[in-house]
Structure 1
Amino acid sequence: MRPILTVTVNPALDISSSIDRVTTDRKLRCGPTRRGPGGGGVNVARVVQRLGGQALAVYAVGGPSGDAYRQLIEAERLPAVAVPIAGSTRESFTVDETSTEKQYRFVLQGPELSEAEWRACLAAVEQSIPVGGYVVASGSLPPGVPSDFYARVARLTRARDARCLVDASGPALAEALAEGVFLVKPSRRELAEHVGAELDTEQSQVAAASALVAQGAAEFVALSLGAAGAVLASRTGIIRLPVPRVHVRSTVGAGDSFVGAFVLRVAQGRDPEEAFRAAVAAGTATTMTPGTELCRRDDVERLEAELAARGD
């Protein structure tokens, strides 16, 4: 398979737990605690590894929480390049309310990066880009990092004859699209914000995704629509897939799993339709797991087969 590199400048130490009911004005004593290394690109690399592939993860890290984060990465034996920063790696806290199956997610702001630090991240990416491979730039940008950071990554990627996939929102997404990328994966809300329209019908959603392809902003636009399924737009047309019916426990990491499965399959030489099917399967499989846990390989392969059977 072709090599894969992922980029994460705002990783998060994910902490998750559960409680019977969330209430105010008293101590809430939670159940067992789970910790994991989160953040867009790192999660993508973890999913690639879980599904039998391998990706190199470049990530910024610092402070005591960063030390814990780095240990978790090492424990998973994930190939990685850690770029040290002065600030402390952010944390996120997810609580599942077992009595209602509601989920509460608290995501802290990342540390501010100096110009020297974000440029060091960019340099690490440039040195690691696999010629002819794939680069996934995913997740939010922390304070201090310019909105065109992913566009710069896309430019460097193109110079190495590699393909860049971007999962971002707001100005970071707009700048990347202006540069031109291989794939973007917006949600309906993120795409609506980008085009400045509601996109409250399937026709408007497909039209907006197709317009990005026609403009040369992206070769593929994977539009995730939650329970309504997903759409893949390209120059060859539109592919729609439903979401398999499963018991949803948590949506944390579902988008990262989607991207991880897609990039793995195209790196393996599969066609876009197969990659899209794997992506929907992986995103769905992740919703079956609690807290911040990612997809399991057997669930992904089972759901892939189920989606393939529907298409036959």
Structure 2
Amino acid sequence: MIYTVTFNPSLDYVIQTEKLTPGEISRTAGEHIYPGGKGNNVSVMLSNLGRKSRALGFVAGFTGDALEQMLNDCGCDTDFIRLGQGFTRINVKINDGQETEINGQGPSITEEALQELYGRLDRLEADDFLVLAGSIPDTMPPDIYEKIMARLDGRGIHIAVDATKELLLNVLKYHPFLIKPNNHELGEMFGTVLETEEEMIRHAGMLQEKGARNVLVSMAGDGAILVTEDKTICRSQPPKGEVKNSVGAGDSMVAGFLTGWLNTGIYEKAFKLGIAAGSATAFTSWLAGKEEIVELLGEEPSEYGL
């Protein structure tokens, strides 16, 4: 089973408008509400690719009810912890030719609720996969990823981590199965700017020296690089298409990679499916469906277990 954890999930209210003028009334040309949060995005994409997962995290209020129902409608299993106060945050994303985001704060997470999450994670078994993705709310310990991985260390659980800087660096000693920094984040971890693929490969190797097994470096319009645990290097340019949406593309890449690996056991195929999933989401208004991904893959889907 694959489990995902989203510490600060959301309802994403996505608006298209011709022009956003501060201080004036603007009217929408289109609007949608989606379940949000990086771990939740991974769960939805896994479902789209035919893989079951269970979404963990915290929800509150009527927005939490709506979020859970939306994820269930997308085919995701949920096992959220319900908080007694507050409500799941609403993030507003406005597109008027450029993207403007206003992210909500989210509810306070109590120590009791955190212990309940630990209890759920204690049920994971050997060869399960766990995805830890996204930011940490201010009400939670800043080393929560590290505490979770220390708790699960030595139990044969494969963990994918999509986080930034210290959140990521501090967990490498627990040998995560997969980490997915983008090229800018990779450079920031070493206090430098990486300009060539060779530099990125070298610094990905440095993260492996610190404990990471597989390092997937996303580079937006320049594609991605994978450095595997057996030192195989995969490079790819992204498929051609019109970028319509930047939200969830990285999460889709993680879901595609995990699906490809679990279906085939071949890192090169996992990498290709990850690229196709991430790109397909970038070319659509939300998370891409299986048909869009297969079209970009350009190969027989049965070779990828789809």
Aligned mate of 1:125, from 121, 146, 156: 121
State how far apart, in whole Å, the 2-side matches of 1:78 and 1:239 are. Answer: 31
Q: Which residue in the other structure is 1:277 paired with?
A: 272
Aligned mate of 1:116, from 112, 118, 123: 112
Q: Which residue in the other structure is 1:54 paired with?
A: 52
Is the counterpart of residue 27 in structure 1 residue 25 in structure 2? yes
Match of 2:120, as an amino acid? A
Q: Which residue in the other structure is 2:6 paired with?
A: 8
Indicate the SS of the match to 2:142: coil
Q: Which residue in the other structure is 1:93 paired with?
A: 92
After superposing the two structures, state which structure 1 stretch, 27-36 or 101-110, moved more: 101-110
Q: How large is the RMSD of aligned CA atoms in angstroms?
A: 1.9
Deviations 1:247-295 (A, max 9, x none): 11111110110111111122223311100110011000001112xx101
Match of 1:80, as an amino acid? T
Structure 1 contact 15–33 (Cα < 8 Å) conserved: yes
State how far apart, in whole Å, the 1-side matches of 2:214 and 2:251 are. Answer: 16
State how far apart, in whole Å, the 2-side matches of 1:253 and 1:194 are. Answer: 22
- The Cα of 1:180 is off from its aligned counterpart by 2.2
Q: Looking at both structures, which has the greater relative contact order when contacts are Cα pairs under 8 Å and sequence separation is at least 6?
A: 1
Deviations 1:73-96 (A, max 9, x none): 233341110111233212211122
Q: Which runs of 4+ in 1 moved over 6 A?
A: none
Match of 1:33, as an amino acid? E
Aligned mate of 2:292, from 294, 299, 307: 299
Structure 1 unmatched ranges of 5 or more? none
Structure 2 contact 89–106 (Cα < 8 Å) conserved: yes
Cα distance, 1:196–1:111 mapped onto 2, change above 3 Å: farther
Aligned mate of 1:190, from 165, 185, 191: 185
Cα distance, 1:104–1:248 mapped onto 2, change above 3 Å: same
State how far apart, in whole Å, the 2-side matches of 1:190 and 1:13 are. Answer: 26
Deviations 1:20-52 (A, max 9, x none): 112222111113321111111111011000011
Indicate the SS of the match to 1:218: coil
Indicate the SS of the match to 1:67: helix
Match of 2:58, as an amino acid? A
Once the two structures are superposed, the pairs formed by residues 56-71 of structure 1 within 5 Å of their partners are: 56-71=54-69
The TM-score, its normalising length taken from structure 1, stands at 0.90
Once the two structures are superposed, the pairs formed by residues 84-233 of structure 1 within 5 Å of their partners are: 84-85=82-83, 86-97=85-96, 101-127=97-123, 129-215=124-210, 217-233=211-227
The TM-score, its normalising length taken from structure 2, stands at 0.91
Match of 1:197, as an amino acid? T
- The Cα of 1:307 is off from its aligned counterpart by 11
State how far apart, in whole Å, the 2-side matches of 1:116 and 1:105 are. Answer: 31
State how far apart, in whole Å, the 2-side matches of 1:157 and 1:265 are. Answer: 24
- The Cα of 1:144 is off from its aligned counterpart by 2.1
Match of 1:228, as an amino acid? D
State how far apart, in whole Å, the 1-side matches of 2:202 and 2:26 are. Answer: 47
- The Cα of 1:306 is off from its aligned counterpart by 6.2
- The Cα of 1:196 is off from its aligned counterpart by 1.7
State how far apart, in whole Å, the 2-side matches of 1:170 and 1:214 are. Answer: 16
Match of 1:35, as an amino acid? I
